[in-house]
């Protein structure tokens, strides 16, 4: 059976909540959940792969391999953070082609200057509107299938205000974007205005501790959003759990008395695919 596309999910009319994945463990756990769409977070992938901030340090080469590994290691459709396209317009063209060939179902392209900075952090600057729209136009022209969607993100709200962010959204739609991502609105009122302005699929970025209020499904739907990504939820939860158990091991010399939630070892082995290994060994056991 062919994998369901993001376009199929949008056409279903159902609200889509996409957990952020950043390595193969998080991807497999999210894939085994009830989530219908996964989001490859640039912030988390750069942190887990390089141990560095999401500040334009990671390259296309750093990222496309992670996209391919995760997209082909899960059953659910995957949308992937493509930052600014990692350079000029030719880089955008190569990035879109590479992400599509790697198995992603959609790519997020933003209008920040290169090198970019993580959303919800200070000091983000955007390129001129005409250049930003051209970036999206190149992205839409580079794909080989219309089922590979282009998510156009603007970071203009933080530095230039919401009016400019909305203008950019309109320009991105004219350039061919399939989904709009107005980054970092700072209140429910601003989110409602975004929802009233556009009659296209809108994406909300739910970052715990970020600039935008973290809302539930019903609230987001009421405000006009179709998709919500939760890029940092998994990595922040995992980070807190690891910090807790590592501190316990350091202070107590053991994990025996730790009270946090832990994956059962056997269940985790099955999640990683050990059952096939065990079955293979049973069928092809070497005899002497």
The model's pLDDT over 108-125, given as tens digits with 9 standing for 90+, comes to 999 998 877 776 667 789
Mean pLDDT estimate for the chain: 94
If pLDDT is split at 50, 70 and 90, which confidence band does 2 have?
A: low
Reported confidence tier of residue 285, pLDDT bands at 50, 70, 90: confident
When pLDDT is averaged across residues 90-105 and rounded to a whole number, the result is 98
Q: Rounded CA gap, 186 and 104, in Å?
A: 30
226: which residues sit within 8 A by CB, 6+ positions away? 10, 15, 16, 179, 201, 202, 203
Residues in the chain: 288
Rounded Cα–Cα distance for residues 167 and 139 (Å): 19
CB 210 within 8 A of CB 120: yes
Rounded to two decimals, the pTM is 0.93
For 190-244, the pLDDT digits (tens) are 999 999 999 999 999 999 999 999 999 999 999 999 999 999 999 999 999 999 9
The pLDDT assigned to 56 comes to 84
Residue 288 has pLDDT above 90, yes or no: no
* Cα dihedral: 84, 225, 214, 38 (round 10): -60
pLDDT tens readout for residues 8-40: 999 999 999 999 999 999 999 999 999 999 999
Domains (ranges, CATH) in the chain? 6-238 (3.20.20.60)
CA distances from 40 to 44, 56, 127, 171, 232 (A): 8, 16, 24, 26, 10
Distance CA 236, CA 239 (A): 5
And the tokens for 250? Answer: 């350091």
Q: What pLDDT, on the 0 to 100 scale, is given for residue 1?
A: 45
| Plot region of 136 (φ>0 → left; ψ -120 to 50 → alpha; else → beta) | alpha
Q: Which residue has the higher pLDDT, 173 or 116?
A: 173
What share of the chain has pLDDT > 70, as a percent?
Answer: 97
């Amino acid at each position: 059976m062919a994998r369901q596309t993001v376009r199929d999910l949008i056409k279903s009319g159902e609200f889509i909540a996409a957990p952020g994945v950043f390595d193969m463990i998080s991807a497999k756990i999210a894939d085994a959940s009830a989530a219908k769409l996964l989001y490859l977070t640039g912030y988390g992938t750069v942190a887990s792969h390089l141990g560095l901030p999401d500040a334009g340090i990671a390259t296309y080469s750093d990222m496309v391999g992670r996209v391919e590994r995760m997209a082909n290691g899960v059953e659910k459709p995957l949308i992937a953070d493509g930052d600014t396209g990692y350079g000029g317009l030719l880089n955008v063209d190569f990035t879109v082609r590479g992400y599509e060939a790697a198995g992603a179902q959609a790519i997020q392209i933003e209008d920040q200057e290169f090198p970019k900075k993580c959303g919800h952090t200070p000091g983000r600057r955007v390129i001129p509107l005409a250049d930003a729209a051209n970036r999206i136009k190149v992205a839409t022209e580079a794909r080989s299938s219309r089922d590979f969607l282009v998510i156009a993100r603007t970071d203009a709200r933080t530095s230039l205000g919401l009016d400019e962010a909305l203008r950019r959204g309109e320009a991105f739609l004219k350039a061919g974007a399939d989904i709009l991502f107005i980054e970092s609105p700072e209140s429910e009122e601003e989110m409602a205005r975004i929802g009233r302005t556009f009659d296209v699929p809108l994406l909300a970025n739910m970052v715990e501790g970020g600039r935008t209020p973290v809302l539930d499904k019903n609230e987001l739907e009421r405000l006009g959003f179709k998709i919500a990504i939760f890029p940092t939820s998994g990595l922040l939860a995992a980070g807190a759990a690891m910090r807790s158990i590592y501190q316990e091991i350091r202070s107590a010399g053991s994990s025996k008395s730790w009270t946090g939630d832990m994956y059962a070892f056997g269940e985790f082995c099955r999640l990683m695919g050990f059952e096939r290994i065990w079955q293979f060994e049973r069928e092809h056991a070497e005899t002497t």
